[in-house]
């Protein structure tokens, strides 16, 4: 299975339609995974797909939202994500 990239995104990221716009962008980049708001005001995103697609997604985030910090980590996954969903 391809590795999974986790993003922890802080800044003005809740209440700005980020999750639904990110879902559309992830689909354009052929990425699987999910995105969700966190109680601390951040957004967590799990991505699986090509390195170019993930890099494009991250660049898009930085250009379109007021991001103060973006932490990126990689993990092995036994799960294959076939689509990208918004978690509540």
Q: Which residues have a catalytic role annotated?
A: 19, 37
DSSP state of 44: E
Q: Kind and range of the H or E element at 58?
A: helix 51-64
């Amino acid at each position: 299975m391809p590795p999974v990239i986790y993003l922890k995104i802080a800044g003005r990221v809740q209440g700005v339609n980020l999750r639904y716009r990110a879902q559309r962008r992830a689909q354009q980049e052929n990425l699987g995974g999910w995105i969700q708001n966190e109680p601390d005001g951040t957004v967590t995103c799990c991505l699986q797909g090509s390195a170019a697609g993930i890099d494009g997604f991250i660049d898009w985030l930085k250009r379109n939202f007021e991001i103060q910090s973006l932490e990126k980590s990689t993990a092995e996954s036994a799960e294959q994500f076939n689509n990208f969903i918004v978690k509540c």
